[in-house]
């Protein structure tokens, strides 16, 4: 992890409990626009990605809550957290007793934030900082995908990849607060939670976050 | 290319649209949203922005509180928005609307003005043509596709009579679009976030050099005298059979009613 990314995350966030998952503490920011600007300046890229890693998103919060109640889903198993952001789902899986947790995110600041957040929660989380969607899904027992359906192009890449992961035998858990591009079929709802986010990110600060299991291809319809 | 897209904040059609006792639309009954037809012309403008580096400005006339509707257009990709709002504008007729928007356009540098076919509330469909007249600009209506034709013209494929024709019009010009321009894009999350930082200028009649008595409700050339809601229709029957069985059932139904 480059020292500059780590310093950037520390400079622009505050370590604090996650609403609804108070046992997890993350480096979180208050204002998305100011931080986005700072990331644009830091990277020299006016098209820098949104600082997804500095907020606990509704889909990730729902997966975190579900894993707290269903530790057996990941206990002793190998878990991959796709589009990890802050690392919230990865940390929740590690806390639930996963045998090995890998978080994936393409944003270098997210890579730094995940490492910092894992350490702040005394969890071991391996981090991959490249675009795994261009590769075959790795051999893991469970894939977590929190809040991946906010963008049509991303959703169009994520869904086939998750289906391939499912076909290879991984269980796939999807967390979502009602994004437009959530797949309409092939998901089984496992639970719904009232999740508290912020109007910095959403139209409402209280959203319904749902957790789904991706059906295998044979039963998908 | 500098494009101004005329957008109208209209009551959300999913809400309860109603007229007040003065025959005017009660705009407090439903939150304002972008007029659907204007989203198609905005999409055409954004495609020109993507391919030609055009800069897109939204221009609206509407009540205070229309900013949220314009914010969606900014989230889709427009660079800035101008909202003309003034209490005196309540009850404006189509002519007033043209005059106000034309006055606003005189203060905005542009090469191309795009207007939607008509609005979901008033439905007049004349404002784009009226503005072209007031600003003495060429007008192309019924646009199904808009492409740049060099630096100083656009080529427009338009619906004409029973077919299509392609015309080239020198800029500056006004083009009125149709839904054939292509499905409006959904704002991305990044677009939604970015829209918060974009410029939203608010102009009053005084800012435009217009007097309240010359435009708006006081100068309206038309007044709504009576209103009547559309006749209630019987509930639709939904046939939920497999396609072949459903087809048979629908044909039987139409025969029974003497429709075929």
What is the tens place of the pLDDT at every residue in B154-210?
999 999 888 999 999 999 999 999 999 999 998 888 898 889 889 999 999 999 999
pLDDT at B16: 63
Stretch A100-117: mean pLDDT, rounded? 97
Tokens of residue A171, six digits: 């269980």
Integer CA distances (angstroms), B123 to A193, B10, B93, B175, in order = 43, 11, 12, 17
Chain A residues whose beta carbon lies within 8 Å of the beta carbon of residue B188: 150-152
A49 and B190 within 8 Å at the Cβ level: the answer is yes
Q: Would you call A152 an interface residue with chain B, using a CB distance cutoff of 8 Å?
A: yes
CATH superfamily of B2-219: HUPs (3.40.50.620)
pLDDT at A219: 53
Q: How many helices (H) and strands (E) does chain B have?
A: 6, 11
CATH superfamily of A3-220: Vaccinia Virus protein VP39 (3.40.50.150)
Residue spans of the domains in chain A: they are 3-220
Q: Does the structure show a pLDDT above 70 at A104?
A: yes
Task: Tell me the pLDDT of chain B (260 aa) as tens digits.
Answer: 999 999 999 887 765 666 777 777 776 767 788 999 999 999 999 999 999 999 999 999 999 889 989 999 999 999 999 999 999 998 889 999 999 999 999 999 999 999 999 888 888 889 999 999 999 999 999 999 999 999 899 999 999 888 999 999 999 999 999 999 999 998 888 898 889 889 999 999 999 999 988 888 888 888 878 777 777 777 788 888 888 999 999 999 999 888 88
A33 and B186 within 8 Å at the Cβ level: the answer is no
pLDDT at B14: 66
For chain A, positions 56-75, list CB contacts with chain B under 8 A: none
A150 and B186 within 8 Å at the Cβ level: the answer is no
Residue spans of the domains in chain B: they are 2-219
- What pTM does this model have? 0.78
Contact A152, A125 (CB under 8 A): no
Of A151, A101, A154, A147, the residue nearest A123 (C-alpha): A101
Contact A29, A51 (CB under 8 A): yes
d(CA B116, CA B4): 12
Of B224, B18, B213, the residue nearest B96 (C-alpha): B213
Give B94-139 as a DSSP string.
HHHHHHHHHHHHHTS--SEEEE-S--SSS----HHHHHHHHTT--E
Cβ-based interface (< 8 Å): residues of B facing A: 186, 188-190, 193-194, 196-197
d(CA B260, CA B257): 8
Stretch A147-176: mean pLDDT, rounded? 95
Q: Does the structure show a pLDDT above 70 at A182?
A: yes
Nearest Cβ partner for A150 among B189, B196, B197: B189
Chain B residues whose beta carbon lies within 8 Å of the beta carbon of residue A33: 193, 196-197
ipTM score here?
0.71
Average pLDDT, chain A: 93
């Amino acid at each position: 992890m480059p020292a500059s990314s780590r310093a950037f995350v520390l400079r622009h966030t505050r370590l604090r409990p996650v609403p609804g998952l108070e046992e997890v503490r993350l480096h979180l920011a208050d204002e998305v626009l100011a931080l986005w600007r700072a990331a644009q300046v830091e990277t020299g890229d006016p098209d820098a990605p949104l600082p997804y890693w500095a907020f606990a998103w509704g889909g990730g919060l729902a997966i975190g809550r579900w894993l707290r109640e269903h530790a057996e889903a990941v206990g002793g198993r190998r878990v991959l957290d796709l589009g990890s952001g802050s690392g919230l789902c990865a940390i929740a899986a590690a806390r639930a007793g996963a045998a090995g947790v890998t978080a994936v995110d393409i944003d270098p600041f997210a890579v730094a934030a995940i490492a910092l957040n894992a350490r702040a929660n005394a969890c071991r989380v391996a981090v991959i900082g490249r675009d795994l969607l261009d590769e075959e899904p790795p051999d893991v027992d469970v894939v977590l995908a929190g809040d991946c359906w906010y963008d049509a192009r991303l959703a169009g890449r994520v869904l086939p990849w998750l289906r391939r992961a499912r076909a290879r035998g991984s269980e796939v858990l999807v967390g979502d607060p009602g994004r437009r591009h959530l797949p309409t079929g092939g998901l089984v709802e496992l639970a719904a939670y009232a999740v508290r986010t912020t109007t910095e990110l959403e139209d409402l600060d209280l959203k319904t976050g749902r957790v789904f299991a991706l059906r295998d291809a044979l039963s998908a319809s | 290319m500098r494009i101004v897209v005329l957008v109208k904040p209209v009551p959300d059609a999913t809400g309860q649209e109603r007229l007040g006792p003065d025959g005017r639309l009660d705009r407090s009954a439903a939150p304002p949203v972008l007029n659907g037809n204007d989203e198609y012309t905005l999409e055409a403008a954004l495609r020109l922005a993507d391919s030609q580096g055009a800069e897109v400005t939204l221009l609206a006339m509407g009540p205070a509180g229309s900013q949220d509707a314009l914010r969606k257009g900014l989230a889709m990709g427009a660079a800035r928005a101008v909202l003309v709002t003034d209490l005196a504008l309540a009850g404006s007729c189509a002519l007033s609307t043209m005059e106000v928007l034309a006055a606003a356009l005189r203060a905005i540098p542009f090469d191309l003005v795009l207007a939607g076919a008509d609005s979901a509330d008033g439905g007049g469909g004349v404002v784009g043509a009226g503005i072209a007249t007031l600003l003495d600009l060429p007008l192309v209506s019924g646009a199904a596709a808009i492409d740049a034709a060099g630096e100083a013209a656009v080529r427009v494929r338009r619906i004409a009579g029973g077919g299509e024709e392609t015309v080239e019009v020198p800029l500056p010009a006004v083009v009125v679009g149709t839904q054939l321009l292509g499905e409006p894009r959904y704002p991305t999350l990044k677009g939604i976030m970015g829209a918060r930082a974009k410029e939203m200028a608010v102009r009053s009649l005084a800012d435009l050099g217009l007097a309240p008595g010359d435009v708006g409700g006081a100068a309206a050339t038309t007044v709504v005298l009576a209103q009547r809601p559309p006749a209630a229709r019987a509930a639709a029957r939904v046939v939920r059979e497999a396609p072949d069985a459903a087809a048979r059932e629908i044909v039987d139904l139409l025969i029974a009613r003497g429709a075929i």
